[in-house]
């Protein structure tokens, strides 16, 4: 009897230890990355090489096809439907971002993408230049360390990791954004949610997160699902390669467009005409501490925004609109980004110029650091 009880106790212990081991194995532990606003004597300007004479490519990396049948939205769209609609809208790059699945497009300029995440609070990530799918996720509301772990796993398998619609449904809190690292892009513009305020939290904490805009289209037959939020990417080459696209996005030589008002509800043909007629960025230069932004057409006003999302300057013209504006960079400025409102209320969101210690080099995203306990379980 006594021996039996001993064996039973040993089994309970072994079971508890195994459960504890599995629990710890499931709980990634990372140190929070301290806030460290951009600093240094130089300015990194993502548009330094975007000179007149190049082209701006229209891109969308967020559209769902019917890959998952009736399980998710996106059930009405075939890959062919998506490509056809975006072709009609004059897009150069169409990435299909099915959940947990890299979908081929057959396009000459093929960018493999997918959307990662099947948790209840929509803590989602985009994988651009995806080589492989990371099949795990944490279903319940995630800890900051679990979010960090997924980002790190995706970074091993992709050219670029995006925080998708980060402010939507609290997918990422402000505290998360101050402490997370290791991703490349921030989907500031998404049809479901604009995460501009949260982007400033990331930038103010010293995370050089570049902007992405995407439709998150689930039904390309619905006018309001298309060409609402897009990214335009600079190229000065006739032949565009995936590597050039990844570099431009990583370096920030791209900007976002939030299409609003009547154009957001217009037909494909009307939207194509609206996009074709829309002013483009001519240049964004820093000359003697002056940040000068010029467009090919007229804007209603230019907003210069800095540390903690503060509006530093608003330049407008009560007459016919203006095609250029400038702002004197101040010693206390850590980053400055420009948002341009066009007369029809459409907005262009430029990537920030950032202070840096190394001339012409973008500030680095800090490395994530595991806590000691987690290093035992996660090699
Ligand atoms: Zn999503």
Distance between Cα 333 and ligand 1 center (Å): 33
Sign of torsion over alpha carbons 52, 57, 58, 61:
negative
Q: Are 64 and 75 in contact (CB under 8 A)?
A: no
Q: Which of 284, 277, 248 is nearest to 48 (CA)?
A: 284
Q: Are 135 and 104 in contact (CB under 8 A)?
A: no
pLDDT digits (tens, 9 = 90+) for 154-190: 999 999 999 999 999 999 999 999 999 999 999 999 9
d(CA 227, CA 257): 9
Tell me what pLDDT residue 239 has: 92
> DSSP 3-state helix, strand, coil percentages of the chain (rounded to 5)?
25, 30, 45
Distance between Cα 171 and ligand 1 center (Å): 10
Cβ atoms < 10 Å from Cβ of 170: 13
Q: Residue 110's Cα: distance from chain center in Å?
A: 19
Distance between Cα 288 and ligand 1 center (Å): 42
Tell me what pLDDT residue 68 has: 65
Tell me what pLDDT residue 71 has: 56
Residues 6+ apart with CB under 8 A from 250: 159, 160, 184, 210
Tell me what pLDDT residue 70 has: 55
Tell me what pLDDT residue 73 has: 58
Give every residue of the chain whose pLDDT is below 50, as ranges: none
- Angle subtended at Cα 374 by Cα 368 and Cα 379, rounded to the nearest 5 degrees: 80
d(CA 51, CA 183): 27
Helices (H), 109-241: 144-157, 174-179, 196-204
Distance between Cα 346 and ligand 1 center (Å): 23
Let me know if 212 is exposed, middle or buried by CB neighbors in 10 A (0-12, 13-18, 19+). buried
d(CA 297, CA 278): 8
DSSP state, 99? B
Distance between Cα 119 and ligand 1 center (Å): 10
Tell me what pLDDT residue 309 has: 98
209: helix, coil or strand? coil
Distance between Cα 364 and ligand 1 center (Å): 26
Q: How far is CA 91 from CA 198, 276, 339, in A?
A: 28, 11, 22
Distance between Cα 231 and ligand 1 center (Å): 17
Distance between Cα 348 and ligand 1 center (Å): 22
d(CA 43, CA 100): 38
What are the backbone angles phi and psi of residue 290, rounded to the nearest 5°?
-110, 125
Helices (H), 217-256: 242-251
Distance between Cα 98 and ligand 1 center (Å): 10
Q: Are strands 335-341 and 353-356 parallel, antiparallel or unpaired?
A: antiparallel
Rg (CA), the chain: 23
Ramachandran category for residue 315: left, alpha or beta (phi over 0 → left; psi -120 to 50 → alpha): beta
d(CA 339, CA 180): 25
Q: Which of 71, 119, 66 is nearest to 96 (CA)?
A: 66
d(CA 28, CA 43): 36
Q: Which helix (H) or strand (E) holds 23?
A: helix 2-26
26: helix, coil or strand? helix
Distance between Cα 150 and ligand 1 center (Å): 15
Distance between Cα 80 and ligand 1 center (Å): 21
**Is 0.85 surpassed by the pTM of this model?**
yes
Distance between Cα 311 and ligand 1 center (Å): 29
Distance between Cα 96 and ligand 1 center (Å): 13
């Amino acid at each position: 009897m006594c021996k039996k009880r001993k064996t039973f106790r040993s089994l309970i212990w072994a079971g508890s230890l195994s459960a504890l081991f599995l629990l710890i194995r499931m709980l990634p532990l990372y140190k929070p990355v301290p806030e460290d606003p951009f600093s240094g004597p130089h300015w990194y300007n993502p548009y330094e090489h975007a000179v007149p004479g190049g082209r701006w490519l229209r891109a969308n990396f967020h559209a769902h096809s019917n890959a998952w049948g009736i399980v998710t939205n996106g059930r009405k769209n075939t890959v062919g439907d998506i490509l056809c609609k975006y072709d009609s809208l004059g897009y150069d790059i169409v990435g299909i971002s099915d959940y947990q699945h890299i979908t081929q497009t057959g396009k000459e300029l093929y960018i493999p993408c997918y959307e990662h995440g099947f948790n209840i609070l929509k803590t989602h990530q985009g994988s651009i230049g995806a080589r492989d799918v990371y099949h795990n996720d944490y279903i319940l509301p995630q800890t900051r360390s679990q979010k960090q772990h997924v980002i790190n796993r995706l970074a091993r398998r992709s050219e670029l990791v995006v925080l998708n619609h980060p402010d939507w449904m609290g997918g990422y809190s402000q505290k998360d954004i101050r402490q997370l690292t290791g991703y490349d892009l921030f989907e500031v513009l998404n049809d479901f949610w604009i995460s501009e305020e949260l982007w400033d939290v990331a930038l103010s904490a010293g995370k050089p997160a570049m902007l992405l805009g995407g439709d998150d289209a689930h039904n390309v037959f619905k006018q309001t699902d298309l060409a609402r939020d897009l990214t335009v990417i600079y190229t000065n080459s006739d032949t565009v390669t995936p590597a050039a696209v990844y570099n431009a996005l990583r370096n920030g030589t791209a900007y976002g467009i939030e299409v609003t008002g009547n154009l957001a509800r217009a037909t494909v043909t009307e939207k194509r005409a609206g996009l074709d007629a829309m002013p483009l960025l001519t240049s964004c230069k820093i000359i003697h501490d002056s940040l000068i932004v010029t467009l090919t057409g007229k804007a209603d006003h230019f907003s210069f925004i800095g540390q903690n999302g503060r509006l530093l300057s608003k330049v407008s013209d009560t007459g016919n609109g203006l095609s250029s504006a400038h702002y004197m960079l101040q010693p206390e400025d850590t980053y400055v980004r420009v948002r341009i409102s066009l007369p029809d209320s459409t907005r262009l969101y430029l990537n920030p110029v950032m202070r840096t210690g190394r001339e012409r080099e973008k500030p680095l995203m800090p490395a994530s650091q595991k806590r000691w306990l987690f290093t035992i379980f996660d090699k």
